[in-house]
Amino acid sequence: GYLNMLATAEANNVSVAVLISPHYFFNDVVNEQNIGINAGHFMNYNPNSPVARQILEDYVNQVVPLMAQYKSVGSICITNEPQLFVDTATDNFYLEPWREFLKETYGGDIGKLNNLWKTNYASFDECDFTDYKLNPVKNYDYKVFNDMALAEFHTWLADVVRKAAPG
């Protein structure tokens, strides 16, 4: 298996970059735990779900220490070609962070957001991703938030890996 390959690489003084592939989740787990997301082709689960994060943390804590004992492991790649397309219409895990992002972006002034988005929201609590592609400013805000969400997930996952294999 995989550990034999790392042992062979070590015996032959070969460095290996290991991809831990956290973007693969079994569909039955995603469905049972109700953590599915339409995130493009990268992952089928919501990376902001506490259940998904616990599963990933458990996985990393089981697998990474086994690999880390081999000198042949030159690096651990946490993801490959990641994508995330957050959709608050079906995603309660990102709805509140989205609204907080908007509050920060617009200095808590819903009037500024309404002026730029050409909307008439009474508060940030009404903001979702509906029709974001039709409005260039809302689309820009969405893309900035989406990129921040993906970066936050990777920061969290990298921290989990570092704790599992310090050094």
Segment 141-159, tens digit of pLDDT: 999 998 999 899 999 999 9
- Can you read off the two tokens belonging to residue 121? 């929201």
pLDDT value of residue 162: 96
pLDDT value of residue 167: 73
pLDDT value of residue 58: 94
DSSP-assigned states of every residue in 121-157: -SSGGG---TTGGGSHHHHHHHHHHHHHHHHHHHHHH
C-alpha of 13 from chain center:
34
Low-confidence ranges of the chain (pLDDT < 70): 38-41, 87-91
pLDDT value of residue 88: 52
pTM of the predicted model, to two decimals? 0.86
Angle (CA) 134-136-142 rounded to 5° is 90
pLDDT value of residue 38: 62
Q: Tokens 């079994």 belong to which residue?
A: 26
pLDDT value of residue 41: 59
